[in-house]
Amino acid sequence: MYVCLCKGVTDKQISKAVESGACTMRDLRQEFGVGSQCGKCTCHARDVLHDSLHARPDVIEVPIRDAATPFNADILYT
């Protein structure tokens, strides 16, 4: 399915990029230009990115701290 219509990026391309080491929206923006045009795809691209990261065997889920703490992460790489 297309995630970014402006740049023609699919969810499979994002998943393959994660398998190749992409782990942030910045990585996706640099590789594909996701979110750099109209920005409407950013939320969906982030969801696909997180789903792909959580599917990796070397990722362990970590509880999210409350909003008052400066550190806010939901994944940890081993």
pLDDT category of residue 58 using cuts at 50, 70 and 90: confident
Q: How far apart are CA 18 and CA 13, in angstroms?
A: 9
- In the chain, the amino acid numbered 4 is C
**2-77 belongs to which homologous superfamily?**
BFD-like [2Fe-2S]-binding domain (1.10.10.1100)
Mean pLDDT (whole number) for 43-71: 74
For residue 75, give both structure tokens. Answer: 């994944």
Q: Is the pLDDT of residue 43 over 90?
A: yes
pLDDT category of residue 56 using cuts at 50, 70 and 90: confident
Mean pLDDT (whole number) for 17-39: 93
Of residues 29 and 61, more confidence is placed in: 29
- Confidence (pTM): 0.73
